[in-house]
Amino acid sequence: MKKLNKKGFTLVELLAVIVILAILIVIVATTALPAMNNAKKNTFVLYAQRLQGKAQELYAVDANMAVGSKDYTVQELMGSGVTEYTGTLTVTYESNSTTQKYTVTVKDELKDVKNNQCIAADTEINSAITGSVVVNCSE
């Protein structure tokens, strides 16, 4: 009688490997996706802080440190090539005999178009801004 050559995997072995891989994918997805979303929010917050600095610089040059406020679009601050972000910031400068203060607020929705994330109007952008102010954009 001829001996059968048993080279290969049984159906049960293949199914066991597939189940183990599926479990690993679920575990990785549940930990990686929230981390990716937090990274996107943090990137948007850092961009908003950069916009704040640019707006303050431009206001100081444009307004010659006069008391009052001025609006700037994202494109005015970062260049016309910026298409992934939209919105307008208002810079307000207040001065009295003892203090000088810049306040940068979002005039209309500051939007990350690619990731559908927004910072709502009337949100003050300062060094204390956190990812918690970033929300999904309204339609």
Q: Which residues contact 28 (CB under 8 A, 6 or more apart)?
A: none
pLDDT tens figures, 104-129: 888 888 999 998 888 888 888 876 67
pLDDT band at 57 (very low <50, low <70, confident <90, very high): confident
pLDDT tens figures, 74-110: 998 888 888 899 999 898 888 887 887 888 888 888 9
Question: What is the dihedral sign for C-alpha 83, 85, 88, 92?
Answer: negative
Stronger pLDDT, 64 or 137, i.e. the higher one: 137
Tell me the mean pLDDT in the region 43-54.
88
pLDDT of 129 reads 72
Q: Residue 25 and residue 27: Cα distance in Å, rounded? A: 5
pLDDT of 131 reads 63
For the whole model, what pTM was predicted? 0.71
Q: Residue 132 and residue 81: Cα distance in Å, rounded? A: 28
Tell me the mean pLDDT in the region 64-78.
83
Q: Residue 86 and residue 75: Cα distance in Å, rounded? A: 8
* Strand order across the 134-136 sheet: 85-86, 110-112, 117-119, 134-136
In the block, tokens 């995997």 appear at: 9
pLDDT of 63 reads 60
Q: What is the DSSP string of 87-130?
A: -EEEEEEEE-SS-EEEEEEESS-EEETTTTEEE-TTPEESTT--
Tell me the mean pLDDT in the region 45-59.
87
Q: What is the chain's length?
A: 139
pLDDT tens figures, 1-42: 666 667 788 899 999 999 999 999 999 888 888 888 888 888
pLDDT of 14 reads 93
